[in-house]
């Protein structure tokens, strides 16, 4: 059995396995509303995981495109102009950031 809290329209807003002060109803585990609640929760967790991995995947794709260009499998000009522009912009940004690493001397811990 699940303890649930509903909003003014009767929609579930909280579901717990233990009783809580704001609970307004109880439902069995096989109730359609409970099944829908947990299915929605699973979908939200999956979407959150995907969003968190987006920036990592962007870097993987950038590296893949760079390797394919280096090996001559594709040319940068094979890509749409918008993609070329974005890749060049990111490459320029990375190069400017990598230049910052030259400001640090291996014998010292701070900026020179």
Q: What is the pLDDT of residue 50?
A: 80
pLDDT in tens, 15-71: 888 999 999 889 998 889 888 888 888 777 777 888 888 888 888 899 899 899 999
* Range of weakest confidence among 43-52, 83-92, 102-111: 102-111
Token pair 């585990």 is at which residue?
Answer: 29
pLDDT surpassing 70 at residue 112: no
What is the model's pTM?
0.48
Angle at the Cα of 8 from the Cα atoms of 7 and 9, rounded to 5 degrees: 90
- Two tokens, residue 35: 């099944």
Q: Closest by alpha carbon to 51, among 39, 43, 62, 41?
A: 43
Q: What is the pLDDT of residue 78?
A: 93
First to last CA, the chain: 65
Contact 27, 4 (CB under 8 A): yes
């Amino acid at each position: 059995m699940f303890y649930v809290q509903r909003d003014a329209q009767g929609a579930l807003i909280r579901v717990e396995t233990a009783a809580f002060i704001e609970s307004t109803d109880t439902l069995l585990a096989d109730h359609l509303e409970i099944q829908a609640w947990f299915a929605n929760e699973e979908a939200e967790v999956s979407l959150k995981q995907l969003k968190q991995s987006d920036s990592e995947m962007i870097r993987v794709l950038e590296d893949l495109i760079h390797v394919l260009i280096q090996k001559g499998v594709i040319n940068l000009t094979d890509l749409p102009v918008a993609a070329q522009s974005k890749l060049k912009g990111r490459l320029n940004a990375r190069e400017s950031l990598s230049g910052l690493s030259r400001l640090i001397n291996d014998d010292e811990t701070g900026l020179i």
